[in-house]
Every structure is written in C-alpha cells, then in structure tokens.
Structure 1
Amino acid sequence: MTERPADRARGERVVRRALRALRHLRVLRVFRVLRDDLWTTAAEPPPHTARPRWLDWLPAIAVVVVVLAGLLLAGSANEYAFDYHMGTRPGLLLAALQSAALVAALFRPVPAWWGATLVMPVVAWYARGEADVDALYPWTGTGLTAQAGVLFLLALRVRPRITLETLLISAATGLGCGLLQAGRPGGHFAVTVLAVAALAGAALRGRQVARTELAAQQELTAEERTRRTVLQERTRIARELHDVVAHHMSVVSIQAQVAPHLVDRPSPELTENLAGIRANAVDALAELRRVLGLLRAEDTAGGAPDDGTRHAPQPGLDLLDELLGKVRGTGLAVTAVTTGERRPLPPGVELSAYRIVQESLSNVLRHAPGARARVELGYHPSGLTVRVRNTRPEGAVPAAGAPGSRTASGAGSRTGSRTASPPGSRTASPPDTGHGLLGMRERTAMLGGELATGPTPDGGWEVTAVLPTTPPAEDAT
C-alpha cells in the first residue's frame, strides 16, 4: 500500500508541532529554573569556621564594605556625570544604586545583584551616542568594582549554579549594551574581572562546604567508632560473665548428680526432682557453651588478639594482690587499702571490680608517668566501692584527648561533667580513645552502680565505682 502525499505531509506537520512543543517545554523549564534561582531573597548564612577567621569577622567586613561603597559612590557619580555625559543628578542616582547594592549584598545578595545589574541598561540608554565603547563599557572603573564586589559576596552564599547564572547574565548585559551602543560588544576586560570575582567567591564557599562535610563525616565516624567500642566491651563482659555462670551451672549439675548418693534410700520423688535439676542444668550449660562459642568466634573473626586469657578462669578480688605485684614490677608505686569487713562477693561484682582496678592502673601507666597510685576497696552492707587515685604526673604527659567526664551509670542514668583542671597543671588524662572508660562504664551500669571519673585538685586523676551486690530492680511493665 502506497502512502499518499497528503498523509505524509500531515505526519510531518504533527512531528514538527511535537518538536516545537518539546522545545517550548524546554525553554519553559529553563525559565522556571531561573525564576526559582534568581527571583528570591533567600541565601545561605555566611561561611563559618571553628577558628576565628576573616570570614567570621562580619561586622568588620560590613564596616569596610560601607566605607568602600561611599568611596565608590563619589567616583561613580563623577564618571557617570562627565565621562558618560549623563548629568549630575542621574549620575549620582545610578552611582548611589550601585553602592547601595554592594552594602545590600551582605544581607540579601540576590536582590542586590539584580539592582547592580539593572543599572547597566540604564547607563547604556542615558549614554547612547555620547560614550565610547571600550574594554569597560557600560561599566566605569568604580562601577565595575562595585559589581565585582556584589558578585563575590553573592558567590559566597549561593549554590555554584546560581553563581554561574548571575555571571552569565551580567556578562550578557554588558556585552549586549556595547553591541547596541556601537554595533560591537564592549566590556571584555570587565567580563574577565567579574568572572574572577565570582570564581573566587565560589572557591571560598566550596572550600568551606567541603570542610563542613568533612567535619560532619568525622563526627559520624567518631560516633560509629564509639558505638562499636561499646559493643565490643559488652561482648567481652558478656563472655566473661557467661564463663562465671557456666561454672556455677556445672557445679549445680554435679551436685544434683551426687546428691542422691548422699542419702540412704532416697525417695523416688527426690531422685526424680534431682534428676530434673541436673537435666535442666545440663541443658542450660549447653546453651551457655553455644553462646560462648559464638562470642569467641566473633572475637576471632573481628581480629581480636588472643592474649592468653580468652579461655582462662575469670579473675576475682582474690587475684588483686597478684595484679598489684605485676604493676609494681613496672615501676609504678601502688598502695592498697581495704576498709570494712572483707567478705566474698558475687562473681560478677568481683570480676567488675578487678577489671576496673586493672584498667585504671593501666591508664596511670600510659598517661601519668612518674605518678603514685592508691587503690581503695571499701566493703559496705550494700556493695563495694572501688577507688583508684593517682597523683600528679612527674614526667611528660603523653598527648591525649580532653579531660574525662564524671559519669554516673546505672538505674538512674545520671550524667554530669567535671572537666576543670588547675591552670598550667600537668593533669593526668584518660586515654584519648576512651575505650577503657567505656568498658568501666558498661560494667558499672550492668550492675546498676555508679561510676565517676575526673581530675583531682592536686592535678591527678581519680576513678570511683560503686558496685551494689544486689541486682538492679527490673522496671515495672
């Protein structure tokens, strides 16, 4: 079947209409973007840095800009009035508008740019046939300085796309005014100056945006590192406590197995109950061993070093003297004081107390060279108080993070801060990573106790943990 010429022509007309409509939509989209970008008074706040820099000295910059605007006002008015033959009043009015735009760019950069840019067609209209089209036309030297200042301040506070749009419109306005005046574009040098000003402002803004994003990323990284450290400490604590619980379940199982043989002719009910106790203990022990295997497998997969203690019995306060002896062997002077009636405590309390003393003394060795340490154990009816205090370091203190914080962890979840230290003193500080403090805080919170860390008045450091012997009460649900 042959296509008729009329149908072919009709199809071509439809295609042409569709293409025109598509181009029309694209043009509308461009104008819509320009309207959203340039028909607004909104702008980002001036760039801010953590340390005082010239960008933060906004009041001083405002004074400088106002003074500069006053100087430009006088120069532009003179050039417009005599070089462009516009007369005194029109020249003064246009110069005042340009100078006001420079000041307004500190607060509303986009409207200020509009005001400075609209001066150019007015200048070209007034000066038509009277002024020479040169490298600056339609700007004067002072007018170009004001326009460049407006573009620079605008580029500091808007997106790069808006900066590019304003630069192109400014350049097109200047070149177009020269084309209408003498049939050839002028303002070549002026366009270069405007481009440099816009590029400088955009570069400073981009640098500050990059620094802000980097700081935010570093903060997120630090938070993630802290979260992972807390999880690692909790895993370690859980592994240690599972060891303790598994030991007790093993004892229960053995005692339930032996108990029937300690009674002459035990009743069937007693034998059955003891067998049930042993069966439940064996099942619980199997589950605990499965959890322990999982925790240790996670440690191995995570690259945790095997220091020989992974499968060792968990220490208690009966091994504290041995720990203090090892610390004294490193050259640290340590004294130990015990108050109250010494008695056996729950394994979890003794394990946490041992680890808190161990970590505190490790911190003294790392961060307070030449100091003396004192370990105090205070037994009281409701629990145990552990206090490790060291004197002011006599050697050079290694670089560390900010002084630690006083934190109370437990049921009340009370938190405060104590970071003041005597001026000029060499105050011992905790590890910069805070891993040791996190571990102590987690152990104390697990028992429902309180932990306080912070500098002492004499320039030393003190760690105090209150560990209750009764488990924290469960919240009512």
Structure 2
Amino acid sequence: MRWFRDRKTVLDLGTAVLVAVLVGVGGAWPPAVGWSGVALVTGQVLPLVFRRRFPGWVLAVVTAATLARLLTTQPHNIDYVPVLIALYTVPSARRASVRWGLGGLSAAAIGAAMTVSKGPVDGALLTVAVCVVAWLLGTERQRHAAERAEFATQRTRFRLERLAAERRAQTARQLHDTLARTTTVMLVQAEALLAVGELTGADRARVDAMLAAGRDALSQVRETLRELRDDGESRPGPGVAAVLAELSAAGLVLEEEPALHRIPDRARDLADRIVSEAAINALRHNGPGVRLGIGVEATAESVRLVLRNDRRGQPTEGSGYGLESLRAQLAARGGSLEAGPAANGGWTVVAVIPCPAEPATATR
C-alpha cells in the first residue's frame, strides 16, 4: 500500500519532468527566456507534482504562471500544456466552484491570452476547445474512479458479510461437535443409571432433575444450531490487510502504514472489523483520494483506535448500521465507539476495546 501511494507520487513527478522536456523541445526553455522565464516555467511545471492533493491550488498557480508567460514572451501552443494537465485533474476537487468556476475561468483566460498572437480562431477557439476536452476527460475519469470505488466498497462489504455468515456456520459445527454431543452422552449415561442403578427416592429425583435440565439444554443447543446452520462450506474471508489493500487500489489513501501489529489477539477480531468498517465508510462517502489515518494505542487493559479521514462526505440513505452494530458489541464488553465530525474538519471514529488479561490457570 505504501508502494501504491509512492507510485502515484512518482507518476506525478514523471509527468512534471515530461512536461519540462516538452517545453524544452518546443524552444521555450531558459536561458533563452532569461531568469524571469526560469521562475515562470518553474511555476508552470513544479506544481504538477502536487496536482492530486491540491487540484484547485495547482490549477490557479499553473494558470497564473502560464498567463504571465503567454503575455510576456512569444507564445507557443505547448506553453499551455501544464494548464491542460491541471484541468484534467481539477474535476477531483471537492468544491463545485473549483471544478466548474475555476476550470472555466482558467480556460477562458488562456484562450484570451492566445488571441493576442494567434487570433480568435487558431488562438481563442482552439485553445478553449482543447481545454474543455481536457476538463471533460478528467470529469469522465473521475466518474469512473467513483464507480470503481463504490464497486470496491460494495464487494468488500459483501465479502465481510459472507465471512460473518461463514463464522456462524463454523460456530454451529463446533456446537454440534462439542456441546451437543457431550450433552447427549451425559443424558444417555444418566438414563442408564436411572434404569439399572440402585437409587433411593431422593437420588432418583436428583437424576430426574438432571435429565430434565440436560434435555432442556440439548433443546436450546438444537434451536441455536437451527438459527446458525448454513449449508455452505467455510472459506477464508479477507483479513484487514486485504481489505485495506483492496480499498487503496480503489482510491483510499492511507496516511501511513497502520501499526495493527500492536493489537493483542484478544481484541484482534473487533479491531479488524472496526478498521474495515471505518475504511469502507471513508471511501464510500467521500470517493477516491480521501486520506485515512489509523492510530493504534495499545495498553495492558485496552486498545484505542482513532480513525480519521480528511473529508466529511454525505452519508447515503440507510448508512450507519455497521458502526451501530459494532458500538452495541463494544458496549456489551465495556468498551465504547464514537463517530462524528472532527473539530478541524473531516470525520473521526474513536473506539476503545477492553482486553483484560486472561486469568491464570490454577495449579494444584
């Protein structure tokens, strides 16, 4: 996952270098344009490295530097290539005013600047048309990325639900193979004792009470088995690492490698489910590019998880069941789970999972 994030940075850096080479091939590279041109070309190219994180700011800076170059030097069509790349990225911005307003203003400004040297057709119309195409391509790419992210979250949620069903099936098999079998053996032995044993009236009453309790317990076990039974074979479900990897491939960005190895085994199951649910919600409600930080604080008595994403998306209809279910389970164990907007923006999930030490085995 760290490699995935670094790969995006490398791609953006490579894009900036490629644009710099194109500008050089086009004859617009210093020292022919002087040191002022060095600053303007740098303002055009360098911000492209950060275009995914700050699409609006990058478009504004690149547009300003490009306008300055077009108005102070002999324009080349290749001079506004950095603006096209920034326009391709700006549809990923969260604010509509940035996507539409800033994108349109940038295209109009570059078209007006090209009119001075190229005329209204080869300058303005051609430039605006190319800028609009770049923006539309970015919009289409963002739509496909959002669809892939939604598909990935739904598929991950389905796999987690399937895992829960398989765990119920495994629990049913274990109950059948252990408790139900043992209870049946106890009942058979008690009935044999009642049939052939030389018992007093009081002893027979005790055995009858034991048989009644055993039959009631066996009946409850069978009822539980009917609720849990599933015909499917148990298959391994995705671990939290696989879930995070799948969501990262769909657009989730982890701020750093989570220290999940600090979580003790006693809290592992709940912790994995909390991390998976928070990560799914972050990508589902905010879309590709959302950044998620996962903090782990483990002590001898509890584990505290702090999961914060940098955007506050709009929950879809019927959302929240997963965290509510986890909150109920934590409350039953003496823990807690809180979710809501962060003070400085974004969304935060804070969970405390009690993990008391296992009692020592008594020795004689």
Relative to the length of structure 1, the TM-score reads 0.39
Larger fraction in helix: 2
Larger Rg: 1 or 2?
A: 1
- The structure showing larger relative contact order (alpha-carbon pairs under 8 Å, at least 6 residues apart) is 2
TM-score by length of 2: 0.49
